[in-house]
Structures are given as structure tokens and as C-alpha cells.
Structure 1
Amino acid sequence: MSDSIYTLTLNEGREKSLLRRHPWIFSKALSSIPSDLSSGDSVKVVSSQGEFLCYGLASPKSQITVRAISFDENIKITDELIADRIRQAVSLRKNVFDRGNDGVRLVSSEGDLLPGLIADKYNEFIVYSISSAGMERFKDVITKTFNEIYPNCSIYERSDTKSRLKEGLKPRCGVVCGKEPDDCIYVKEEGQVYIPVDIKNGHKTGAYLDQRLSRIKASTLSKNAEVLNCFSYTGGFGLWALKGGAKRIENVDVSENALSKAKAGVVFNHLDPGRCRFLKKDVFAYLREQVEKGVKYDLVILDPPKFAESAANLKKACRGYQDINRLGLKLVRKGGRLLTFSCSGLVDSALFQKIVSDAALDAGVDGRIISTLRQDADHVVSLPCPETFYLKGLEIAVM
């Protein structure tokens, strides 16, 4: 890794997004990229006229060649700056902890001006994921800072995302310091429900903390309801639906491991297993089967994985969202609700509403948007980076 700071120049007319403080600089925006620029190097970025725009961290193997860290020429990228950003991010989460949550996102990448770093706290474990070459350079600083903030916590790494490959980084997982987590731990949510979390082998860092508010919404709609919970993972929505008084719930997922943890979660929360079914099925296929049988539910929850991984497959992703919502809407009895979500950053709120509207038309269903849903407050949104507002949800009433 080079100790020098390169100055990279933007092509003429490509400074608009940086002037608005969007942190991504793509390779095509740069007039040239030095052949000896190393992953994680600090760089200074200037306009075609030589005016300072930002300091950033380089990733020459990625389409996003630079991620901006500082837009102030007097604030260079140092270990202390990264540590300060982490401390600031943690301080923003106090109100989420105060609500009775022991599972909280501490750092949310671009949302906290730390592109490529995600960190979640589950009870006495900090789990972080590094997905950019720039944050990889600061791994030791990240670990040291979390140790200082939470000296009694163990730290586990889940840097195994696909995006690391685009950065030229190998996947890395395991204990950084402290003890090994159990195969499943239970994390208190809103002081009421314990969510099963699989730190070592689960999705992301082990759980989907961003859906906390939507799980509470599901609970309010579940009294005496027959509920279909699709892409159920470890059963968070299902647990809240049972807590809300669901008469019957079907949790559907392709992962046997996730379903086994969902079953255990019902017992751990002292809820009634007799009201639950756990089905290892492809969700699309199961929805079609249920439509053909004429089955109806009071509440259908569609919380699929990210369909739009890149702009290249956006059209295909939109077709997938439309298909699954068409099927889901057909399964909701009149007077019931559909809770439907997209976690694809490339699918904005307006596009998602259009997709669901088209799905309702295809299904022959008259629906109304009762409320919009979104990621909880610990998954902060950066004003200049709209991609950080990635989780969109709609509560649809079927008329």
C-alpha cells in the first residue's frame, strides 16, 4: 500500500454528484487512474479545473473507484477520523437501545459516512462486515474502537459479502476477539419478543434488524388472523404475529436451518407451536400452489431478498417483484392486508408502488395503501445518498 496521496482528476462536467456530497466516484468519471494506485489508498479528488472536491479511499478493481470520506480540505483521512465516525454513529443509536432493543445496527455504511462498513450489536457480541477496500485498510482501527466503546463485548467478523469480490478482497469470517457465539442466540426486540440470531451462518450479520418497525406493524394486524409469512428466515415476523394473537401462521422458506431456528424461537418466547407451520418450500412455487387451491389468508407478508443486485438486472427484478405481489394479493381475502417489501436500493419508492399497482391490476384486486413502511432509525439514511434509503414497504388493504 502506497503512503503517498494521489490526486485524481474528474472529467469535465462530472463533479455534480460530488458537489452534492454523494460519496461514489465511478471509474468513467475519472480522467485517469494511476497504474500503481493500490486498494485502500487515500486520494485527493479535484475537478477538471483543479478545484478540491473530496478526500476518498481508492478501490481500483471496483467500478466505484473512489468512495469519498471527507469533503473538507482541512480534514484528511486518518485513523482518528474513522474512530470518531464510529463513535458518532454509536451515539446516534441511543434511542433505539432505550426502546428495549438488544439487537441494534451501530454503523450503517454510507449512512454513517463510513462506506463499506456495517456493524451490528447482538447482546454481548459486535458483528462487523467490511465490504470495501478502503474500510479493509482500517480493520485494526475498527476493532480497537469497538473494543474501547464496548470493552465487555466479543467481536465477530462476517466479511463474506459478494461485494468484497468486486473489490478484489477475499471473504473472511470468524472471531476477531473474545468468545465464539453459539449457533443461535436470542436478542430482545422492543422489550417484548426475542428474535433468533445466527451470527456464524445466518444471512448478513445474522439478522434483519431493519424490519423491526414492520414486525411490530404485523403484530397489530394479526389478532385472530390466518397469516402467511413468506421468506420467513428465522421467523421474526411470525413471532410478532403470534405475539399479536394470530390464529394460525405459515412460515415459508427454502432454508431448513432458518426454519429450525424459527421453530426454536416460538418455544423460547413461550408462544404456541400448535398455531404454526414451518414449510421448506420455494416461495414462488408455494404461492402458485395456494392460488390454485383457492386458499385465502387475512395477512400475507412478502419480505423477499434483494432482487435487483445491479442496474443490469433491474428489469428482471421488477418482473420478479410484480409476479410475487400478483400471487400474494390473490391470496388475501377481502378486508385483509398485504405487507410487501423491497430491499433493493435500485428500486425506489415510486417504482415499487408502480410495481405493486401493476400486480394488483394483474390479480384483479382492488387495493388501498394504508401505510408506508421503511427501515428503522438505526439504519440511517444519508441526505445526499438516496441509495441508503433502501427498504420500502407497503401495507395494502384488499377491498
Structure 2
Amino acid sequence: MGTIKLYKGKDRRIRAGHLWIFEGEIERAHEAAPGDIADVVNHQGSFLGKAMVSGSDTLKARILTRKDVPIDEAFFAKAIENCLEYRRKVAGGATCYRLVNSEGDLLPGLTVDVYEDVFVLQATTYGMDMRKHMLAGLVAELLRTEKAYERDDMPVRRYERLESVQGFLRGEFDTNVRMKENGAVMDIDVSTGQKTGYYLDQRENRAAAAQLSSGLQVLDAFCYNGSFGIQAGINGAASIHFMDMSEPAIEKARQNAKLNGLEDISRFDAVNAFDELSRLAKEGGLYDMVMLDPPPFTRNKEAIEGAIRGYKEINLRGIKLTKPGGYLVTSSCSQHIGMELFKEVVLNAAADAGRYLQLVEARSQAKDHTRLLSMPETDYLKFLIFRVV
């Protein structure tokens, strides 16, 4: 068993509940190779927790538990079982959900998403990658399925000196999955779709927006596979305009709209949504509900100013396209843009548009995308519904 000893005063974050240990906090690491489990102690040798050693040059280890217990297969089996027990309580009978949410579930580096009888596993750390077949076996036994796919094609793996890989972990099967969510039916591909195949973190937010959509003319900008607009449609929207710059995404949205019997009230445009929103606003196009779910404008602190400008501009265009008494549905998945800052950005956009906003709801990611209070990094999604007056 290796040991990681921290410098004096460098244990405060760990004691407060953060899970990451950085190179500059370590006084000495003894027999702590990448992937190993190590005891973490303070400068006096007092036990702080068990950590998994990283392959990174800067983020050297991640805490798994504060308890002095063996980190073995039984440990991971119990942890994943606890994750499933929680999802059964909060996912509302959903058949597609996040089972394991990395740091949010005290299993840093491990993500598991479930799509009907298929699960997709991501291992972003050296230690979880070493154990991925064992972990897949535990999940398969718990879920009683042999359909497991690996989506370890994320750039973040480079920091752990891990290659980009994907493929079958257990069994071989059609990677196209027909999933159900909030009453809608969607076809996704776990081998090629965004993230692990679909944006599960917006499940509850899609339902919240759809509840307001009956009888409305809806614009779903940055629609990807059409999930927001489709759920508005099955809840009674009068029309849906799907917009995305990706031709494959628009084609998938078209297929999913047809699958839900919405093709007659749907319009599809493969265009640059930023430019098209501006053009529509100039032409006086108006909608009862404008949905904005753009990709992240920043993945680091250095790009925050540019991200603020981007979010303000896109929300300004969205507000201009919303009829008086209509709804603006807007979100940000940029972790470095907090909720209050995001509200301020949208408020400034409304001021420039000469409109008032009534806050209907302020939400975050779905409850199965667990947020660890001691780790603000796990709280990344901001979702706002406004009535525009």
C-alpha cells in the first residue's frame, strides 16, 4: 500500500470534502504508482483517506473514501449498488439515466450511463481504466444485462496518458438504441452520439419546458437530435422549428420527429444557428417559445470573457425572437459560468433588447447527475425558463 503525505496546511481542501490532490500539495509519495490505491496522510501522519493515484503530471490523486477500508472489488460493488439505489429513488422510473457520475458519486473517473438494456462506461483516470473490465462486470451483474459499450474517446484521457478507445466491453449488439424519455421515443447511437450517446443531464429540464409548450410555436435552436422540440411536440406544441448546423443531427431530429408522429408540424434547417437567429430577428420572425441549448463556450477560466459575450449575444437574439408573453428557455453547460453570472448575462441581454424577464424556473442537471457540495466542479449545468414581457 502506497502513501501520499501532504505538506502542512495542504489538507484543508481534503478535510472540507474536495477529492483532488495536486502535485504542489504533496510532500512525499511512497510506492504510489499510477492506478494504485494509496493512504493519504497529513504532515503529521494522520489518516485523511484512501485515494486512487493518477497518471497526470499535475492532478496526482483522487480521494475515494475517508474511511480506512480495503479498496477492492467488494468496495466498488457496494459503491455502484448504492448508486443504483439512489437512482431508483430520484429517476422516476426512467429507463435511461446516469448510474454513476464520477466525482459526484465519490467514484472519480468513472461514468456509467444506462440506455434501456445497454450501458455505456467511461473511464477517464488511469486507475478506473485499469479496472474497467471488473467494473463493467459489476454493473452488468447489477443491471442483469450483457450489453456494455466503452466510450473512452474523450480528450481528457490524454492528461492521464491514456489512449482514445471505444468498442464493446461485454457482448456484441446493435449500437442503435430506441430509448424512451418523458413519453417521447428517440433513436440514438451509443457509438457515435454526443457524450455517451445522448444528453441525459437535461432529462428533467426537457420535461419542465415541455409542460409549458401546449399550443405554442416553438423554436429548438442547437437542437442536436431534437429532444427538446420533440418533447414540446408530444405535449401539444402547435409547431416546432428545429435548427442545427450539423446535417446528421438534423437528419436524426427529422427521424425522431417522425417516430413521434410530429413530422406534419415540424420544420428542419441545417444552418448556423448563431447566424440564423440574427437573420430571423431582422426579418421579424417570432415564436411563442425559444429554446437555446448551445455547446459550451468555454472549457477553461481563461476564456470566460469570450464566453460571456457569446452567451449574451445568443440570448439577445433569442429574446428578440420571443413574442410578448412567450418563453425563453436557455441553458449553459460551461462549468466556469456559474448560475448567478449566467442570470446576469441573460438580464443584460434583455436590457439591450428592451424587454423584461419573469423567472419561471432556475434549474440544474438531472438529479441522477449528482452534485457534490464540496466540489463545485460537479455543478456545471444552468437551465433557466423565463417569460418574456
Whether TM-score is above 0.5 comes out as yes
**1:311 is matched with which residue?**
301
Task: For residue 100 of structure 1, report the CA deviation from its aligned partner.
Answer: 4.2
Task: For residue 62 of structure 1, report the CA deviation from its aligned partner.
Answer: 4.5
Where 2:312 maps in the other structure, the secondary structure is helix
Task: For residue 332 of structure 1, report the CA deviation from its aligned partner.
Answer: 1.0
Instruction: Please tell me the residue identity of whatever aligns with 1:175.
Output: F
**1:212 is matched with which residue?**
203
Q: 2:26 aligns with which of 27, 30, 34?
A: 30
Task: For residue 8 of structure 1, report the CA deviation from its aligned partner.
Answer: 2.0
Q: Tell whether 2:282 aligns with 1:280.
A: no
Call closer, same or farther: CA 1:102–1:158 in 2, change over 3 Å: same
In 2, Cα distance between equivalents of 1:282 and 1:62? 39
Instruction: Please tell me the residue identity of whatever aligns with 2:216.
Output: A
**1:188 is matched with which residue?**
180
Contact kept in structure 2, 1:290 and 1:331, CA below 8 Å: yes
Instruction: Please tell me the residue identity of whatever aligns with 1:360.
Output: A
Contact kept in structure 1, 2:55 and 2:126, CA below 8 Å: no
**2:326 is matched with which residue?**
336
**1:384 is matched with which residue?**
374
Task: For residue 154 of structure 1, report the CA deviation from its aligned partner.
Answer: 0.5
Where 1:266 maps in the other structure, the secondary structure is helix
Identity value in percent: 34
**1:356 is matched with which residue?**
346
**1:257 is matched with which residue?**
248
Call closer, same or farther: CA 1:62–1:125 in 2, change over 3 Å: farther
Where 2:122 maps in the other structure, the secondary structure is strand
Task: For residue 128 of structure 1, report the CA deviation from its aligned partner.
Answer: 0.9
Call closer, same or farther: CA 1:81–1:150 in 2, change over 3 Å: same
Give ranges in structure 1 of 5+ residues lacking alignment.
none
In 2, Cα distance between equivalents of 1:30 and 1:200? 39
**1:112 is matched with which residue?**
105
**2:144 is matched with which residue?**
151
C-alpha distance after superposition, 1:272-304 (max 9, x if no partner): 312111211222111111122221111111112
C-alpha distance after superposition, 1:300-356 (max 9, x if no partner): 111122222122222222222222112211111111110111112222211211221
Q: Tell whether 2:52 aligns with 1:57.
A: yes
Task: For residue 266 of structure 1, report the CA deviation from its aligned partner.
Answer: 1.5
C-alpha distance after superposition, 1:43-87 (max 9, x if no partner): 222222332222111124243221110112x21322221221111
**1:101 is matched with which residue?**
94
Contact kept in structure 1, 2:3 and 2:29, CA below 8 Å: no
C-alpha distance after superposition, 1:206-239 (max 9, x if no partner): 0111111111122222122111111111111111
Instruction: Please tell me the residue identity of whatever aligns with 2:210.
Output: S
In 2, Cα distance between equivalents of 1:362 and 1:16? 44
In 2, Cα distance between equivalents of 1:14 and 1:347? 27
Contact kept in structure 2, 1:100 and 1:188, CA below 8 Å: no
**2:85 is matched with which residue?**
91
**2:384 is matched with which residue?**
394
**1:294 is matched with which residue?**
284
| Structure 1 length-normalised TM | 0.92
Contact kept in structure 1, 2:55 and 2:125, CA below 8 Å: no
Task: For residue 37 of structure 1, report the CA deviation from its aligned partner.
Answer: 4.9
- The CA RMSD over aligned residues, in Å, is 1.8
Instruction: Please tell me the residue identity of whatever aligns with 1:14.
Output: K
In 1, Cα distance between equivalents of 2:71 and 2:352? 52
* Segment of structure 1 superposing worse, 121-130 or 20-29: 20-29
Task: For residue 96 of structure 1, report the CA deviation from its aligned partner.
Answer: 4.8
Task: For residue 32 of structure 1, report the CA deviation from its aligned partner.
Answer: 5.0
Give ranges in structure 2 of 5+ residues lacking alignment.
none
Task: For residue 114 of structure 1, report the CA deviation from its aligned partner.
Answer: 0.6
**1:21 is matched with which residue?**
17
**2:65 is matched with which residue?**
70
Task: For residue 179 of structure 1, report the CA deviation from its aligned partner.
Answer: 2.4
Where 2:236 maps in the other structure, the secondary structure is coil
Contact kept in structure 1, 2:365 and 2:381, CA below 8 Å: yes
Q: 2:76 aligns with which of 71, 77, 82?
A: 82
Contact kept in structure 2, 1:37 and 1:60, CA below 8 Å: no
